[in-house]
Amino acid sequence: MEATNLKRSRLTDLCSVIVAALLLIYPLVLSRFYSALMIEILTMGLFALSFNLMFGYAGMLSFGQATFYGIGAYTTALFLKYIAPSLALAMLSCMAVSFVAAVLIGSICVRFTKTYFIMLTVAFGEIFYYIGNSWVSLTGGDDGLVGIPISRIAIPGLPAIDLQDIRVYYYFTLLVVAIAAFVLRVIVASRFGYVLRAIRENRDRAEFLGLNIRRHLLLCYAIAGLFAGLAGALTVPFEGMVSLETLHFTKSADPIIMSVLGGTRFFLGPLVGAALFILTKDTIQNLAELWMLWMGIIFVAIVLFLPGGVVGFIASLGGFRHRTSENVEKNEGTKSSEYTGDQEPL
């Protein structure tokens, strides 16, 4: 059994190295179009990871995650356009604003559960969408914010980094998403992450054990809002503008679909779901006129036949093989114990 676990660990490490190598050489061997496609996958993958921190680990289903995604995008764009053309400072400010907004909104939402929580997240999302649409002097309304300056990143002793180069921006996005994913991984593997799991599994029992439910859920909500805002910030240099669609209700559905596709009980499930969602969408758009219909059929089929998501299905195959080998070893051990001494098996 230890040998099997060691083999699985080595296989996981090998797959991780291969994936990392592919991500590094990806823009060097393919066209700029595929670099742009991967930037979208990474950005939306981070957006889905932030949502799944609430849903997959704490059991909070939010239909208003686009609120913080849009706040992050607008904060970054306004900072770059009116304060200073420094992307690093703009991203830090967007994370701070998104975190504060999530604390204020979450302090109300986490007081309620289930249907009431969902309704409140939708309501706050519609409020911010209305503000974005009505405050034309600040947000640009339906036209959005355009003409956002993207300056080069100057590092002493090194050439300036031009983020307007799509391949350079791919590596920048990959670095930011990798760091963010690592931080989220540390969070879910910490005591705080296990408290969230306990609340998800049995809220009453967790409260009986003396855990402060609201405080933990509020912190979870705020952290998810912070990383959703960071995902929104990454879209600004990539698209060169911010549209009102970043605050729209339908934008909140994207991370839900991505998380369910990949698997909500697996940390990297939302990232895999984001890749499946965007690649499927791009492929079907080029092949079929009624692409939304076909997208719906594909996703319904995945939910029906792969309820644990794609990553969950792959993990179940590995678990099945592992259980099968254990049963074989157990049966062989039983047989060998039955035939001892000079007795010959029949």
- Over residues 23-36, mean pLDDT: 84
- Please tell me what DSSP assigns to residue 248: S
| Contact by Cβ (8 Å): 19, 42 | no
Mean of per-residue pLDDT scores for the chain: 84
Calculate Rg over the CA atoms of the chain.
23
Q: Side-chain half-sphere of 263: how many Cα atoms within 13 Å? A: 17
3-state DSSP assignment of residue 242 = strand
pLDDT given at position 10: 63
3-state DSSP assignment of residue 260 = helix
| Contact by Cβ (8 Å): 86, 67 | no
φ/ψ (deg, to 5) at 153: -90, 120
Cβ neighbours of residue 27 closer than 8 Å, sequence gap 6 or more: 34, 35, 38, 166, 167, 170, 171
Instruction: Provide the pLDDT confidence category of residue 345 given band limits of 50, 70 and 90.
Output: very low
Cβ neighbours of residue 78 closer than 8 Å, sequence gap 6 or more: 138, 145
Q: pTM to 2 decimals?
A: 0.87
Cβ neighbours of residue 2 closer than 8 Å, sequence gap 6 or more: none
φ/ψ (deg, to 5) at 59: 75, 20
Instruction: Provide the pLDDT confidence category of residue 177 given band limits of 50, 70 and 90.
Output: very high
3-state DSSP assignment of residue 212 = coil
pLDDT given at position 105: 96
Can you give the residue ranges of every domain in the chain? 30-248
Q: Nearest Cα to 96, choosing from 181, 216, 222? A: 222
pLDDT given at position 11: 59
| Contact by Cβ (8 Å): 152, 163 | yes
- Over residues 239-262, mean pLDDT: 91
- Please tell me what DSSP assigns to residue 160: P
Please check the confidence at residue 157 and state whether its pLDDT lies above 70: no
Q: Nearest Cα to 65, choosing from 270, 311, 310, 302? A: 270
| Contact by Cβ (8 Å): 249, 265 | no
- Over residues 231-241, mean pLDDT: 91
CA distance 72 to 58: 23
Hey, what are 304's tokens? 């029906």
Looking at per-residue confidence, does 134 or 3 come out higher? 134
CA distance 197 to 206: 10
Cβ neighbours of residue 253 closer than 8 Å, sequence gap 6 or more: 63
| Contact by Cβ (8 Å): 272, 65 | no
Cβ neighbours of residue 153 closer than 8 Å, sequence gap 6 or more: 87, 88, 160, 161, 163
Instruction: Provide the pLDDT confidence category of residue 125 given band limits of 50, 70 and 90.
Output: very high
C-alpha distances (whole Å) from 93 to each of 100, 176, 207 are 11, 15, 35
3-state DSSP assignment of residue 169 = helix
